[in-house]
Structure 1
Amino acid sequence: MLAPIAALLITYALTALVATLAAAVLWRSLSILLAELCGTEERSRFWTVWSMVMMVATPMLFVSMKGIQIRAADLIQSTMTSALFGVLLALIGMGIAVWTRSPRHDA
């Protein structure tokens, strides 16, 4: 059994790790894609940073909405489920935003 404060800290640390890893993996590719779509480096940089913040903030929000588990196994399962769901929603949002603004080449 974990103390509530330890469980909370572990929850946020795991979430930050998962979300930051996802953001780091996408940073370069998204930056290149947004440079093409945005037209200027300043716009591209802004939207890349904004996307990375959302990639971290969305999982943190989902984890914050759940109650803290005291048992270690329940804590890890609950945290990973919420964190991965948050990352997935952030990716879906970014994917839709990029897809709707990408030029279409009709055959």
Structure 2
Amino acid sequence: MEHAHDDGRPAGTRMPQPRAGAPVTLRYWAGARSATGVDSDALHGCATVADALAEATRLHPGLAPVAAVSSLLLDGRPAGGDTALPPGSVLEVLPPFAGG
């Protein structure tokens, strides 16, 4: 019987390894997309989530108030400012959504 990994992948499969020197991709959703005017940015030289957000707000000053209240997902998992950013990873900026 084949077992699955903790993340649900079938046994025998491997996660793709980030490429050294690859940029970190920031994806912007909803209000973050409106604040930046773009869907995403590719950033180099950011060691942590906080570094990436600082660079993104330097590029898009209107992002600062949105980023301050947004949830952050790094490769699909919640992340904080001190979370390390491996090359090739994806950081998503998700502002609070209104619902009803």
Q: Which has the higher strand share?
A: 2
Structure with a larger share of its residues in helix? 1
TM-score (norm 2): 0.27
Computing the radius of gyration over CA atoms, which structure comes out larger, 1 or 2? 1
